[in-house]
Amino acid sequence: MPETETVRARGHEHVSAEHASTWELTSDDWLTPAGDCILGIEADTTPADFDAAFVAACQSHDATVEATLRVGDREQTVVGAGHPELSFESDRSLVARTSGYVDDRTVMVNADTAAEGVDQALVDALAEGGSLECVFRVE
């Protein structure tokens, strides 16, 4: 049975989704225009909150990690991989990366989509302050 985690956040007027290699959700309650990878703020869950079974599943070399981003009736799924060095220690933000780089915020590596690849209608809804639900699933 796959492990799942759900993170809820909200958009912000400065959501631009222009970053070429990552996307991020943060628990911060603010966003500047420089944060071009950030899709949502005020995230209610951070990697440090994730269940131990979910973390262990993501640390497998063979793990496939999916993140389904939903805003209203718009939805997009990003697929990436787990990594043995994922620590899930950040209590501030989570990052999905198209590269293999790992730090305490990384929840997915080798993702098939960065911020710049997120559907424009979804980005527009976030820029209008829409509510975001991100469901992570690992197998």
Taking the CA of residue 20 as centre, how many other CA atoms within 13 Å lie in the half-sphere pointing to its CB? Answer: 0
Q: What is the pLDDT of residues 27-36, one digit of tens each?
A: 999 999 999 9
Split into its structural domains, the chain has a count of 1
Taken in order 35, 40, 45, 50, the sign of the CA dihedral is negative
CATH number of the domain where residue 57 is located: 2.60.120.630
Within 10 angstroms of residue 53's Cβ, the number of other Cβ atoms is 10
Q: What is the pLDDT of residues 56-101, one digit of tens each?
A: 999 999 999 999 999 999 999 999 999 999 999 999 999 999 999 9
Distance CA 128, CA 105 (A): 26
CB 69 within 8 A of CB 76: yes
- Among residues 111, 138, 84, the alpha carbon closest in space to that of 19 is found at 111
The answer to pTM > 0.95 is: yes
Range of the domain at 27: 3-138
Q: What is the pLDDT of residues 97-136, one digit of tens each?
A: 999 999 999 999 999 999 999 999 999 999 999 999 999 9
